[in-house]
Amino acid sequence: MASMAPIPNHLVWAILATLFCCLPGGIVAIVYASRVDSLVAAGLYDAAREASDKARFWSLLSLFTPVIGIVAYLLLLAMGLGLGALTGGY
């Protein structure tokens, strides 16, 4: 059998995304990342590659969700529509 390139599980990124960024998306990433190694051990390489890709997607989504929210809030502040506009403060 020809040697295959290892399939990354992205577990570290999933855990970091869960701890520091977005809990729900990070949990989904951890679930997919934890499946990769067992699928490789079972010889299900296509399923392992799919789980790896999904773990990467959810990790990146979880990492960038807060960044997008912060940028959107800063844009609202720049336009004068931040929390002060909601409470009537200036």
Q: Is residue 28 part of a domain?
A: yes
Q: How far is CA 2 from CA 27, 43, 52, in A?
A: 34, 13, 21
Q: Is residue 90 part of a domain?
A: no
* Number of structural domains in the chain: 1
Q: Is residue 2 part of a domain?
A: no
Tens digits of per-residue pLDDT, 41-50? 999 999 999 9
**Dihedral, 37, 46, 32, 7 alpha carbons, nearest 10:** 50
Coil, strand, or helix at residue 8? coil
Q: Is residue 4 part of a domain?
A: no
- The answer to whether 30 and 14 have CB atoms below 8 angstroms apart is yes
* pTM higher than the cut 0.85: no
What residue numbers bound the domain in which 37 lies? 11-82
Q: Which residue has the higher pLDDT, 26 or 1?
A: 26
